[in-house]
Amino acid sequence: MNILVTGGAGFIGSHFVKYMLSTYPGCLIVNYDFLTYAGNLETLREIEGNSKHIFVKGSINDSELLHETMRKHSIDIIVHFAAETHVDKSIQSSSRFTQTNLGGTQVLLDAALTFQVDRYIQISTDEVYGSLGDTGSFQETDSLLPNSPYSASKAGADLLARAYYKTYGLPVVITRCSNNYGSFQHPEKVIPLFITNALVKKQLPVYGSGKNVRDWIHVRDHCSAIDAVLHRGSLGETYNVGGSNERSNIELAELILYELGLPSSFIEFVADRPGHDYRYAIDSSKLINSLGWKPEISFTDGLKETITWYMQNEDWWKPLKPF
């Protein structure tokens, strides 16, 4: 396997790169990343010098460089993580999200078509489905009803990937995952934001009432799900990936403070995000039943491991965090 991983210096992408090199030592990983603020080569330090890992700095909007890279390394599989992902930033300025998440995906799909790859994995998000009430869970057959510029750009990319499967026969598979957590996640994201704020004795900002609910999955479980889809997923299909670990934001903040021995007075309620989706929950039964995948890491164990990692790696996250 010669795999082009876009966004492989980001949080989930870097974990996937390391997972694949560990699980399949014979595969070649070409890591294609533009190194925006969310990309960090320090996340890949442990595989430095591995001859099966090749890094290329480049934008997915750069068709010429993409073609050159795919030709040079005989790419037969693409796993597409590269994206702008922060919802708040998409609300402040949406153009970069459209250009990268939708326009960049189109450039990548064209490259995949030109080089006739064996498989193209589109990594997406449960946010494309919109918001749930107090009950129910998202299924792959649900309509796409995105509520933020970020989720709209990802929904558009999913539909474009589906169109390339239907129109051109490109071997596309789409995955839509719930919220990830784990080591090396940028401290702008909610779990590392709460952890790192607590570690420096800053308030934990909680939007609105704090009752918004997310389903959490450890990033290593997400990587194993992508592996299952890569090797056994049916072409043209979409697979939901979830951890079945629903937590409200206020519950999450309280749990992190408890683990660090701090009082709930460190919680600060702030003005709610515009268009803030109330609840996400994902039904992964298709992936579990058809491909034999299941999450292995409990939320309790995974969160404790993540808190410990941030406690022990201040040299990684402090330079990334505005104080």
Q: Is 126 annotated in the active site?
A: yes
Q: Is 127 annotated in the active site?
A: yes
Q: Which of 150, 164, 165, 239 is catalytic?
A: 150
Q: Which of 32, 33, 84, 127 is catalytic?
A: 127
Residue 6: which of 88, 98, 111, 96 has the closest Cα?
A: 111
Residue 154: which of 209, 100, 229 has the closest Cα?
A: 100
* Close Cβ partners of 67 (under 8 Å, ≥ 6 residues apart): 111, 114, 115
**CB-count exposure of residue 136 (10 Å: 0-12, 13-18, 19+):** exposed
Q: Is 239 annotated in the active site?
A: no
Q: Which residue has the tokens 């952890």?
A: 195
Tokens of 111: 């490259």
Q: Which of 32, 84, 120, 126 is catalytic?
A: 126
Distance, first Cα to last Cα, the chain: 43
Would you name the residues annotated as active-site residues?
126-127, 150
